[in-house]
Structure 1
Amino acid sequence: MCDKIYALNRTLSSADLYYEVELPDVFTFDHPLGAVMGRAEYSDYFEFSQGCTVGNNNGVYPRFGERVFMMSDSKVIGDCEIGSNVIIGANACVKDQDIPSNVLVFGESPNLVIKENRKETVDAYAKGVFVYD
């Protein structure tokens, strides 16, 4: 029965979120079309958008701290430790690379651009208000 419900959900929402994936108690998805969420370790206040991917590399999945926001088409793959209060920018690709807390990330591994993030920016994202500097 679980496989049938999973297939129905994937068909209706176009999001691949297998029933064995353990999402945190508090999470949000915003227009999840085309998103694929793998068996990573998620923490509360995780948020993802359309086209996002969380996957494994050689059977190792990422680990996420609290308040991680994955913007459209971003990817986190493999042995990654993502800190808390992190915004992963649109189209970013983090692969087998750790990301500290309180940062904005964009670009592609191994040449990621990591900028310090103000608490106000993370708070604004959490409220759905986007702040551009």
Structure 2
Amino acid sequence: MANEHLSAYTCQQVTTFFPGMEAAVLQRVIGTHWDTTMARLQACIDKVRMWPQGQFNYLNSSQYCQYLYFLSNTIWREERSEEALGVATRLFLLNKALNGIDLFYEIELPEVFFIGHSVGIVLAKATYGNYLVLYQNSTVGKNHGVAPVLGEGVILYPNSAIVGRCRIGDNTTVSQGTGVINRDTPGNCMVFAGTAGELTVKPSKRHLIDDFFRL
């Protein structure tokens, strides 16, 4: 889809789901930040191994989810006018409605990340390292106002969580169904749910992140 058609397609979705904003305002704000958004999106897509480089498929729901995030986040980064924030809010809500993800536009995800399946993902305003992998029903959350710090190459498999005062080392993989709450990980490891709420941490035999990204 050509850029002008994609922009019009996005505007139509926003006005259908969330009426009340003049179409000209919506088009102006999106158009102003379009080039920066698409450059960020394409740089991210090009790093993901399973996606062809130099292409964006709006019918790939994961790519479209990431596109809506980059668009809303870029608008928020570059323009704090009332109109711009109104557009960013609608794009955030559109992403939530279409893809089942709670990813507010103020959250600073890394420039390279991959969403396997977006449904049920909830992300707080935490610190995220580059080459992040997220799967369905994964959560990064605060505990008593304290947010985690994630290093590079962190993988959250389905139904996993990182919550609270955590420092997650580089190349940490959180296995399916495992919750890391107010705990640190050393990095280069895999984390599993243990007994009585404890965690089992095993050294990684290789960097799983290499399966996801062109490093």
Q: Do the structures match in fold with TM over 0.5?
A: yes
Q: Percent identity?
A: 34
After TM superposition, give the deviation of residue 118 of structure 1 in Å.
1.5
**Contact residue 82 and residue 100 of structure 1 kept, 8 A:** yes
The answer to whether structure 1 residue 127 and structure 2 residue 127 are counterparts is no
Code of the residue aligned with 1:53 in structure 2: it is T
The AA in structure 1 aligned to 2:199 is: L
Partner of 1:131: none
Compute the displacement of 1:110 (Å): 4.7
Task: Choose from 103, 111, 117 the match for 2:204.
Answer: 117
String of CA shifts for 1:29-84, please: whole Å, max 9, x gaps: 10111100111100110111000000000111100111000000100000000000
- Which structure's residues are more often strand, by fraction? 1
Aligned to 2:125: 39
Q: Distance in 2 between matches of 1:97 and 1:22?
A: 22
**Match among 119, 134, 157 for residue 48 of structure 1:** 134
Question: 2:94 aligns to what SS in structure 1?
Answer: helix
- 2:157 corresponds in structure 1 to 71
Residue 170 of structure 2 aligns with an amino acid whose one-letter code is S
TM-score, L = length of structure 1: 0.89
**Offset of residue 126 of structure 1:** 3.2
Query: What is the CA deviation profile of residues 70-113 of structure 1, one whole-angstrom value per residue up to 9, with x for unaligned ones?
Result: 00010000000000011100000000001111110011685001
Unaligned runs of at least 5 residues, structure 1: 129-133
Give the TM-score, by structure 2 length.
0.56
- Compare the two structures and name the one with the higher helix fraction: 2
Counterpart for residue 23 of structure 1: 109
CA RMSD between the two structures? 1.4
Moved over 6 A (4+): none
Which one-letter code corresponds to 2:142 in the other structure? N
Distance in 2 (CA, whole Å) between partners of 1:110 and 1:64 is 21
- The structural deviation recorded for 1:23 is 0.4
Unaligned stretches of 5+ residues in structure 2: 1-86
